[in-house]
């Protein structure tokens, strides 16, 4: 199946309803994340607004419909972590290449903004997410056994890491990177 033509842009407040609808099945029907209650549009909007300096991107198809969204948030709250982000991606139709386009745009935006390390937590097993992250250059760095309980079973969480830049010199504080223009798959 060919990768659809996509426009990637920063999230707008008007995207919150479609983002919440896209995310709901991930919460209710899968164990790919550990939320128990799917957020509504208002909560999704609050989540985006809580991190205005970090990239939240959406991909829309040629008809303007939401094909997916991805974001990078602070990895941890302590000051020494400020050069690191944790990434996530959700797509309307997994396996069509939307996730790779979105994640690459998020990673590029983070690198341009001065963030140096990207991490991803993946509930296991999840071959599709593992494959996507490894294709994008992430490497597995560890596993937290039985870290969460959802849908009647214990779940391990694997951690993946990807450097966004060489870190041989002392870093400068990150700043929001340029926002992506329309992105076409390579």
- Give me the pLDDT at residue 133, please: 98
Q: Which residue has the tokens 């963030």?
A: 115
- Is residue 174, in this structure, part of any structural domain at all? no
The model carries a pTM of: 0.89
Nearest to 170 by CA among 107, 82, 46, 98: 82
Q: What's the pLDDT at 179?
A: 54
Backbone angles phi, psi at 91, to 5 degrees: -125, 155
Residue numbers of the domain that contains 27: 7-163
**Average pLDDT for runs of 10 along the chain of length 186:** 80 97 97 94 96 95 95 94 96 93 97 94 96 98 97 97 85 62 43
Residue with tokens 């419909």: 65
Nearest partner of 135 among 171, 163, 178, 104, judged by Cα = 104
Phi and psi dihedrals of 8, rounded to 5? -110, 130
Q: Please tell me the total count of domains within the chain.
A: 1
Residue 175 confidence (pLDDT): 64
Residue 69 lies in a domain: yes
Instruction: End-to-end CA distance of the chain: give it in Å, rounded.
Output: 15
Residue with tokens 């549009």: 41
- What does the pLDDT read at residue 171? 72
Do the domain assignments include residue 185? no
What residues pair up with 88 in beta bridges, in sequence order?
71
Is 32 inside any structural domain?
A: yes
Whichever domain contains 117, its CATH number is 3.40.630.30
**pLDDT given at position 182:** 46
**The predicted structure's pLDDT at residue 185:** 39
Residue 182 lies in a domain: no
Tell me whether residue 183 is in a domain. Answer: no
């Amino acid at each position: 199946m060919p990768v659809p033509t996509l426009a990637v842009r920063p999230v707008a407040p008007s995207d919150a309803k479609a983002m919440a609808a896209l995310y709901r099945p991930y919460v209710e029907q899968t164990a790919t994340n550990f939320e128990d209650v799917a957020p509504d549009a208002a909560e999704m909007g609050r989540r985006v607004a809580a991190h205005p300096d970090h990239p939240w991107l959406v991909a829309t198809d040629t008809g303007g419909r939401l094909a997916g969204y991805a974001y990078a948030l602070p990895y941890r709250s302590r000051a020494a972590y400020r050069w690191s982000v944790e990434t996530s991606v959700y797509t309307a139709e997994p396996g069509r290449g939307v996730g790779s386009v979105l994640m690459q745009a998020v990673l590029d935006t983070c690198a341009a903004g001065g963030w140096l390390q990207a991490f991803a937590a993946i509930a296991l097993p999840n071959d599709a997410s593992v494959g996507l992250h490894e294709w994008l250059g992430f490497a597995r760095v560890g596993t937290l056994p039985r870290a969460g309980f959802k849908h009647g079973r214990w779940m391990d969480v694997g951690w993946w890491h990807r450097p966004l830049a060489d870190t041989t010199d002392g870093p400068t504080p990150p700043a929001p990177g340029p926002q992506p223009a329309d992105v076409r798959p390579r």
